[in-house]
Amino acid sequence: MHAHRKIVRSSLIPSDINPLIAYHCLKVWNNGYVNDPHGSTYKTYFPQITPDYRTQKQKSISLFRLRTGHCRLSSHLFSLGLHPTGMCEHCHVQETVTHFLTTRPAFQQQRLILQKATNELSLPFDMSTLLTHRDTAPLIESFIRDTGKEI
Q: For residues 48 and 137, is the Cβ–Cβ distance under 8 A?
A: no
Both 61 and 30 in one domain: the answer is no
Both 104 and 31 in one domain: the answer is no
Both 16 and 72 in one domain: the answer is no
> What's the rounded Cα separation, in Å, for the pair 1 and 130?
48
The boundaries of the domain holding residue 19 are 1-36
Both 132 and 65 in one domain: the answer is yes
Max mean pLDDT among 46-50, 58-62, 139-143 falls in 139-143
> What's the rounded Cα separation, in Å, for the pair 27 and 36?
14
Instruction: Find the mean pLDDT for residues 105-132.
Output: 96
Q: For residues 29 and 49, is the Cβ–Cβ distance under 8 A?
A: yes
Residue 46 placed within a domain: no
Residue 125 placed within a domain: yes
Strand partners, 94: 87
For the cut 70, the answer to whether the pLDDT of residue 29 exceeds it is: yes
Instruction: Find the mean pLDDT for residues 45-68.
Output: 83
Residue 100 placed within a domain: yes
Both 72 and 26 in one domain: the answer is no
| Burial of 50: CB neighbours in 10 Å, binned 0-12, 13-18, 19+ | exposed
